[in-house]
Amino acid sequence: MKRELDNLVTQMHSTGVRYDDAVRQFKRQYLLEVLRAHRGNQCKAAEELGMHRNTLSRTMAELELELTEVRAGLKRPVRSERLVQGGLRQQIR
């Protein structure tokens, strides 16, 4: 993982990414990952991150990170699609 991070830092530096932008992007991606892992639950995510829920909320606002963005990929498909997928699963078995 260290090698990947080193490569990313080198690439960002060589392409002229400013420090502020790099830190902001890292924070945004990290918070997105933790929030997705907790299905958008800010209390659980804040606990894992070792911060207060209000601090997480404020940081999300600063980074223009909305829960709709986090939860977009987590929604269950509409009922008709679930039935089709369930039927396909049964045929595959």
Mean pLDDT (whole number) for 15-28: 93
Percent of the chain with pLDDT strictly greater than 70: 77
Cβ count within 10 A of residue 41: 14
What global pTM score does this model have? 0.71
Evaluate if residue 53 carries a pLDDT over 60: yes
Q: What is the pLDDT of residue 77?
A: 62
Question: Pick from 48, 24, 27: which is nearest to 38 by CA?
Answer: 48
Mean pLDDT (whole number) for 11-35: 93
Q: What is the pLDDT of residue 1?
A: 84
Cβ count within 10 A of residue 4: 8
The structural domain count of the chain equals 1
Domain with 57, as residue range(s), is: 2-92
* Mean pLDDT for all residues in the chain: 85
